Amino acid sequence: MKIAVCVKEVPEAGPNRRIDPATKRMDRSGDKALNAFDLNAVEAALKIKEASGDGEVVLVSMGPAKALESIRKGLAMGADRAVLIADDAAAGSDLVATSYVLATALQRETPDIVLFGQQAGDGDGAVLWAAVADRLKMPVISQIAELDVSGGQVKAKRQTEFGYDTIQAPLPAVLAVSDAVNEPRYPSLKGIMGAKKKQQDVLSLADIGADAGRAGDAGSRTTVGALNPPPSRGGSQKIEDDGTAAEKILEFLMERKFV
């Protein structure tokens, strides 16, 4: 059983995050981490591998070469190796271009299962799996809350606007899991120490046989125009608890007359 997990490095959340007005791209200069929703997908992959008794979990990502630092968290949790497509020509890829590059990278891996988390923490996008599944010509099931893989079949339960669906599909398949599907494990010290030594391939578009004209700006079909400030929420604050957080929240609530 070979399981590919699509993961992404995202900027840390908070009031300091911004879109660079010059490039119209997300400013990725600040602190970064592995997208939190991807941890559920990594955990789901590890569970499937453990239940099947053997197999391989491969992390597949696209981003700058230094994104490996964030991706290593998935290796520390227990994934076997990582493939990162890092190419200047892929920067600024929208859904059309990203799904093309990822699908091209995934085709080389011929996985039985392609896993996604429920959304990217930075772009609010929740459609990538459907685009990748279409390019791979595989069945797709999204928003999965319960997952059962056995006998070459996947059975999944998920919540919709109307109740609960139970959906079944043969492998290979593309699966997007929700944050209800599991509780991601914390990497052990041994896992963290061992992560650096695991195979990590940083590949260019040419390495995977992808057409640079279909990646990055050249391959994208959407644009970002004018940036406008939102209707103000007032000054937004983010604080670390130093033991006085409850007092600070109370002050905040009293200023606004909730207490």
Partner 1 sequence: MSTLVFLEHHGSSIQKGSLGVLSKAAALDPDTSGVIIGSGVGDLASQAASYGAAKVFIADDASLEAPLPQARVDVISKLVRDQGFDAVLFAASVLAADVAGGVSARLDAGLNWDLNDLAMEGGELVGKRAALGDSVYVDAGWTAAPRLGLVRSGSFEPTETSGAGAVENIPVELEDFSSKAVMVEQAHEESSGPSIEDADIIVAGGRGLGAPEGFGILEELAKALGGAVASTRAVVDSGWYPYSTQVGQTGKTVSPKLYVACGISGAIQHKVGMQSSQVIVTVNKDGNAPIFDFSDLGVVGDLHEIVPALTKLVQERKG
**Region near partner 1 per CB under 8 A, out of 57-65, 80-88, 204-212, 230-238:** 230-238
Say how far apart CA 136 and CA 166 lie, in whole Å. 23
Instruction: Please tell me whether residue 256 binds partner 1 under the rule CB under 8 A.
Output: yes
Secondary structure (3-state) at 16: coil
Rounded to 5°, angle at Cα 86 from 117 and 1: 45
Do residues 193 and 74 lie in contact, with contact meaning Cβ atoms separated by under 8 Å? no
- Tokens at 215, concatenated: 């990646």
Per the CB < 8 A criterion, the answer to whether 177 and 147 are in contact is yes
Under DSSP, the state recorded for 5 is: E
Which whole-number Å values give the CA distances from 54 to 48, 112, 142, in the listed order? Answer: 9, 13, 25
Closest distance of CB 188 from partner 1, Å? 19
Sign of CA dihedral 43, 45, 46, 52: positive
| Nearest distance, CB of residue 211 and partner 1, angstroms | 12
* CB of 163 vs partner 1, minimal distance in Å: 4
HSE, CB side, 13 Å, CA atoms: give it for residue 59. Answer: 39
By rule CB under 8 A, what string of x and - marks binding of each residue 100-139 to partner 1? x--x--------------xx-xxxxxxxxxxxxxxx-xxx
Q: Are strands 153-160 and 9-11 parallel, antiparallel or unpaired?
A: unpaired
Query: Binding of partner 1 at residue 33 (CB under 8 A)?
Result: yes
* Helices 36-52, 68-77: crossing angle, 10 deg rounding: 40
Give yes or no for residue 65 binding partner 1 (CB under 8 A): no
What residues from 75 to 94 belong to the interface with partner 1 (CB under 8 A)? 94
Instruction: Judge contact between 155 and 164, C-beta under 8 A.
Output: no
Per rule CB under 8 A, is residue 221 in the interface with partner 1?
A: yes
Closest CB to partner 1 among 54 and 222? 222
- Does the protein bind partner 1 through residue 54 (CB under 8 A)? no
Residues 1-20 that bind partner 1 (CB under 8 A): 10, 12-15, 17-19
Binding mask 132-171 for partner 1 (x = CB under 8 A): xxxx-xxxxxxx-xx--------x--xxxxxxxxxxxxx-
Sole window of 46-54, 61-69, 192-200, 218-226 interacting with partner 1 (rule: CB under 8 A): 218-226
Residue from 7, 8, 37, 38 in contact with partner 1 (CB under 8 A): 37
CA-to-CA distance for 245 and 118, rounded, in angstroms?
31
Cis previous bond, 184, omega within 30: no
Comparison of 36 and 212: residue with beta carbon closer to partner 1: 36
Residues 185-214 that bind partner 1 (CB under 8 A): none
Supply the minimum distance, in Å, between the C-beta of residue 65 and partner 1: 21
Among 47, 107, 180, 212, binds partner 1 (CB under 8 A): 180
Least CB distance to partner 1 at residue 53 (A): 26
Contact between 51 and partner 1 (CB under 8 A)? no
